[in-house]
Amino acid sequence: MVTAVKITLPKLTPSTKPFANAVKIVLAAHVAGAKLNQTAGDSVELVLADKSLTDANLAVKIILDLVSFDASNTSLLQSAALEQEEAVITPLIFKKKTTEALQIAEQAVVKYSKVFSKDGKLGIVDVIYYGALYDVLQANAEKEKYSALTAWFERVSKAEAVEKAIEVVKGQISNKAAKK
């Protein structure tokens, strides 16, 4: 894992893709135990030596040193779960098809249970799903319908890395959005 993470963050509005991306990247930095070097910018970016990345999932992979795919069972399950989030769940959330997104996320937590946290220790799948679903699950009133997902979310929310990351991201919420 990297020891220092340099990112740019703009002012953020909840329930937007930049907000979800910021949760993912900042949480990854805290899970890695890396020093977070944060500056103001126009978009959520991971700043590398030779370029900046706006792809949050790839940024998380870099921060957690999990870019390589080794065809192991864990690598395969992680990749399948992450592809499900990127290809299906997040697009549904931003099309406001929240119920469908939560149903598929519930199925993913069950199907790929081996790569979701059971003890509060977070991995790459937890980081990316938490960022993608944070806003939706915070507001979700039908917790019993998504029991596995809710149990996972409540467990992960108690992690110190999550508390610190959410504090950082909430600090970026624009005053205009906060007044809503």
Binding footprint of another protein on the chain (CB under 8 A): 53, 55, 57-58, 61-62, 67-71, 76, 79-80, 83-84, 86-87, 91
- CA–CA dist 48, 180 (Å, integer): 35
**Minimum separation from the CB atom of position 89 to another protein (A):** 12
- 146's tokens: 């998504």
**Minimum separation from the CB atom of position 35 to another protein (A):** 20
Residue whose CB is less far from another protein, 128 or 168: 128
Q: Which of 59, 22, 20, 65 is nearest to 41 (CA)?
A: 22
**Where do the DSSP E strands lie in the chain?**
4-9, 35-40, 45-47, 52-53
Residue whose CB is less far from another protein, 8 or 57: 57
Residue whose CB is less far from another protein, 94 or 147: 94
**Minimum separation from the CB atom of position 159 to another protein (A):** 26
Residue whose CB is less far from another protein, 60 or 159: 60
Calculate the CA 16 to chain-centre distance.
13
**Minimum separation from the CB atom of position 113 to another protein (A):** 17
The angle that helices 73-84 and 124-139 make with each other, rounded to 10 degrees, is 30
Contact 173, 14 (CB under 8 A): yes
Residue whose CB is less far from another protein, 76 or 177: 76
- CA–CA dist 172, 169 (Å, integer): 5
**Minimum separation from the CB atom of position 88 to another protein (A):** 8
